[in-house]
Amino acid sequence: MATVKWTCNMIATTIFLSCPLVLECKKPPHIVFILADDFGWNDVGYHGSEINTPNLDKLSAKGVRLENYYVQPLCTPSRNQLMTGRYQIHTGMQHQIIWPCQPYCVPLDEKLLPQLMREAGYATHMVGKWHLGMYRKDCLPTRRGFDSYFGYLTGSEDYYTHQRCSHVPPLNVTRCALDLRDGEEVATGYTGIYSTQLFTDRVTSIIAKHNPEKPLFLYVALQAVHEPLQVPDRYITPYSFIKDKSRRLYAGMVSAMDEAVGNISFALEETGLWDNTVLFFSTDNGGQTLAGGSNWPLRGRKWSLWEGGVRGVGFVTSPLLKQPGTVNRQLMHISDWLPTLMGLAGGSTNGTKPLDGYNVWNSISKGSASPRLELLHNIDPLYDDIAPCPGMGSQGSVSTASVSGIGFRSWSNSGFNVSVHAAIRNMQWKLLTGYPGCDRWFPHPGLLNSSGARSFESSSDNPLKPVMLFDVEADPEERNEVSDQYPDVVDNLLRRLDSYLKNSKPIIFPDDDPRCDPATTGAWGPWE
Ligand SMILES: *[C@@H]1O[C@H](CO)[C@@H](O)[C@H](O)[C@H]1NC(C)=O
Ligand SMILES: *[C@@H]1O[C@H](CO)[C@@H](O)[C@H](O)[C@H]1NC(C)=O
Ligand SMILES: *[C@@H]1O[C@H](CO)[C@@H](O)[C@H](O)[C@H]1NC(C)=O
Ligand SMILES: *[C@@H]1O[C@H](CO)[C@@H](O)[C@H](O)[C@H]1NC(C)=O
Ligand SMILES: *[C@@H]1O[C@H](CO)[C@@H](O)[C@H](O)[C@H]1NC(C)=O
């Protein structure tokens, strides 16, 4: 009984204006969370993209568009925070992503969102990309709270063969092997089916089979629109006007993804679940400009702490929303979903470690102020930018040497080592230290020509400094560096970084394990 009452109270305070009698309370809502991969700021129709996304536009127009919403700059970290509600510095996963042969996963003593959902009485299903570690079976989605799972465990693969090719460094060989599982079993027989279609079919079948009496938690982590650039021709046809080939293929992939989201929402409507569903849509990080994505006019891209890497496309839509059709400019972050979803579910976050996320539902549903005033983007003392950044030589990557700080003011009072890659947001202020990653303002995609060539704005007028401060509310493009004008703000934020660093877990980033070799089993998967 206690559980039921709690549920109703939570629902009452979150969605409905009043709930006088417990028995009149509605059931906890179905929760569908769709996570797109590498979907850039300028790649959704409602941000003015040349790519058509009628379903995302329509669904978000009936919902709440989140325009001050942040994600992590990379796949594993965003998914990690979605599942734990905790910053990377608190799980030891502040460096890069989990590569296929690395023997680690989200620490097993972290309680994950689907476990909490299950405890709150939900059926829990996941379809798509896991990328939170799989070296042992205990790390798999089905061992971490999901009743069912259909998808792939690594970070990327072929959309049709569902094979991942990866170098196995300790063996000095490159292996291509299947990465697709149904539950914990290797799933064969799906070769040739485009993954956006394959995953959507699985999602709609879960929806069709679901008993509407039980609340549903469905996590859809689409492969789209991460590279490789692959898509059935019919999706590219409308984009013959796009000269740059990568962008054209990418646009087709986005259209397929948009259709997938449309099909999922249609399935929810057809089964009647929609009337009591809250649907969340989010990207996992900024677009990858090397693979067709665009974050214009924001600076940087995936793998960087510039706005282009971390300001995410996101919206919430539901017939239960009190203020449909609104744009929300309150500060929110992907770590906020765990407590927010648990609030909606009427569940408890009992058993989690201290959360960094906030329940932001009141802000979404009523437009009230976000409880989040500060956001730690990350601190990663081992940061390296592995992709070529145009204009930075053939290697592209830059060491912290290029921001050595010679000739700049020194900020030594805080005790924070300003050569370390880090960024923090507080109210309108964003402070970056060390090398934040590729810092270009990539041009509007309309300026790309057939060779993909383009001119890049020189950053010589904007030399990187070891400490940079921006008012990102007024200056989301991070063009006007103001650390000299606001030394007190800088000092305070450096102190905040220092305090976060002192309370951070050591980085977990183990060497590759040769036992990952899929040669014997024919599939990537647990080896321990
Ligand atoms: C790895 O293999 C390649 C050929 O496949 C060879 O050229 C290279 O020397 C090898 N590297 C090491 C470290 O053994
Ligand atoms: C969406 O549904 C339509 C109609 O059933 C189907 O033709 C199309 O292939 C589906 N697309 C995806 C991506 O699931
Ligand atoms: C939290 O969980 C523990 C066991 O995991 C249980 O003993 C405790 O009563 C729970 N607290 C609440 C408030 O549910
Ligand atoms: C400061 O951080 C940089 C980059 O992580 C590192 O190379 C350097 O050794 C650090 N300096 C000190 C004094 O710890
Ligand atoms: C493409 O743009 C680049 C940079 O602006 C220019 O150098 C190149 O000539 C252009 N190529 C074509 C085919 O227009």
> Is 131 one of the annotated active-site residues of the chain?
yes
Which residue ranges have their beta carbon within 6 Å of ligand 2?
Answer: 196-197, 200, 256, 259-260, 263
Q: How many A from CA of 105 to the centre of ligand 1?
A: 29
Which 3 state secondary structure label does DSSP give 35?
strand
Looking at residue 419, its amino acid is: S
* pLDDT, position 335: 98
* Atom 12 of ligand 4: nearest residue by CA position: 417
The answer to whether the CB of 94 is under 6 A from ligand 4 is: no
Q: Which of 6, 115, 350, 353 to probe ligand 3 with, by most ligand atoms within 8 A of CB?
A: 350
Whose CA is closest to 128, among 222, 200, 196, 198?
A: 222
Q: Using an 8 Å Cβ cutoff, are 41 and 436 in contact?
A: no
* pLDDT, position 311: 98
* Atom 14 of ligand 3: nearest residue by CA position: 350
Catalytic residue among 95, 131, 162, 421: 131
* Atom 8 of ligand 4: nearest residue by CA position: 419
Is the full-model pTM beyond 0.85?
Answer: yes
Q: How many A from CA of 166 to the centre of ligand 1?
A: 15
Q: Using an 8 Å Cβ cutoff, are 420 and 433 in contact?
A: yes
Locate the ligand 3 atom nearest the alpha carbon of residue 348 and give its number.
14
Q: Which of 451, 457, 458 to probe ligand 5 with, by most ligand atoms within 8 A of CB?
A: 451
pLDDT < 50 stretches in the chain: 1-24, 393-401
* Atom 11 of ligand 4: nearest residue by CA position: 417
Q: Using an 8 Å Cβ cutoff, are 176 and 517 in contact?
A: no
Measuring CA to CA, how many Å separate 247 from each of 240, 308, 362, 452, 476? 11, 17, 38, 9, 24
* Atom 14 of ligand 5: nearest residue by CA position: 449
* pLDDT, position 459: 55
Catalytic residue among 8, 75, 105, 389: 75
> Is 438 one of the annotated active-site residues of the chain?
no
Q: How far apart are CA 377 and CA 45, in angstroms?
A: 27
Phi, psi of 226 (to 5 degrees): -70, 155
pLDDT in tens, 203-237: 999 999 999 999 999 999 999 999 999 999 999 99
* pLDDT, position 8: 47
Fold of domain 30-374? Alkaline Phosphatase, subunit A (3.40.720)
* pLDDT, position 7: 47
pLDDT in tens, 351-369: 999 999 999 999 999 999 9
**Which numbered ligand comes closest to the C-alpha of 193?**
2
The answer to whether the CB of 417 is under 6 A from ligand 4 is: yes
**Which numbered ligand comes closest to the C-alpha of 199?**
2
